[in-house]
Chains A and B, each alone.
Chain A
Amino acid sequence: MPILEVSNLGKSFGATEVLKDISFSLEKGGSLAIIGSSGSGKTTLLRCLNFLETPDSGRISVNGEVIFDGDRKDAVSSAELRRKRLHFGLVFQSFNLFPQYTAFQNVTLAGELLAKERPDFKANKKQILDEIRQNGQKLLDSVGLAAKADNYPHQLSGGQQQRVAIARALALNPDILCFDEPTSALDPELTGEVLSVIRSLASRNTTMIIVTHEMQFARQVADNVLFMDHGVVVEYGAAADVIDNPQHERTRQFLENYSNT
Chain B
Amino acid sequence: MDVVKVLFEGFGENLRIFALTLVMAIPLGLVITFGSMTRFKPLRWLTRTFVWIIRGTPLMLQLFVVLYAPGLVFGVPMRNRFTATLVAFVINYAAYLSEIYRGGIESIPRGQYEAGAVLGMTRSQIFFRVVLLQVVKRITPAMGNEVITLVKDTSLSRVIGVAEIIMVAERFTKQGLIVPLFSTGLYFLLFNGLLTLLLGWIEKRMDYFKV
Name the interface residues of A75-107: CB closer than 8 Å to any CB of B. 78, 82-83, 85-86, 88-90, 92, 94, 96-100
Contact (A172, B111) CB under 8 Å given A113-B129, A152-B209 = no
Contact A96 B111 (CB under 8 A): yes
> How far apart sit A172 and B117, CA to CA, in the bound complex (Å)?
13
User: Are A100 and B117 interface neighbours, CB within 8 A?
Assistant: no
Q: B152 on the interface (CB 8 Å rule)?
A: no
B210 at the interface (CB under 8 A from A): yes
Distance to closest chain A CB from B96 (angstroms):
26
Bound complex: CA A103 to CA B21 (Å): 39
Q: Is the CB of B120 within 8 A of A85?
A: yes
**In the complex, A100→B208 CA distance in Å?**
8
Dominant secondary structure at the B interface: helix
- Minimum CB–CB distance from A102 to chain B (whole Å) comes to 9
Query: From residue 107 to 136 of chain B, which have CB atoms closer than 8 A to chain A?
Result: 109, 111-112, 114-123, 125, 129-130, 133-134
Min C-beta distance of A78 to chain B, whole Å: 7
Contact A82 B115 (CB under 8 A): no
Q: Give the docked Cα–Cα distance between A98 and B109 (Å).
A: 11
Once A92-B111, A100-B209, A152-B209 are accepted as A-B contacts, the answer to whether A114 and B134 lie under 8 Å apart by CB is: no
A66 within 8 Å of B (CB atoms): no
Q: Which 9 A-B pairs have the closest CB atoms?
A: A110-B119, A96-B115, A96-B111, A154-B210, A100-B209, A90-B118, A99-B209, A100-B133, A86-B120
Q: Can you pick out 23 interface pairs between chain A and chain B where the beta carbons lie within 8 Å of each other?
A: A51-B117, A82-B122, A85-B118, A86-B120, A88-B118, A89-B118, A94-B111, A96-B111, A96-B112, A96-B115, A97-B115, A99-B134, A99-B210, A100-B134, A100-B208, A100-B209, A110-B121, A113-B129, A152-B209, A153-B209, A154-B209, A168-B119, A169-B118
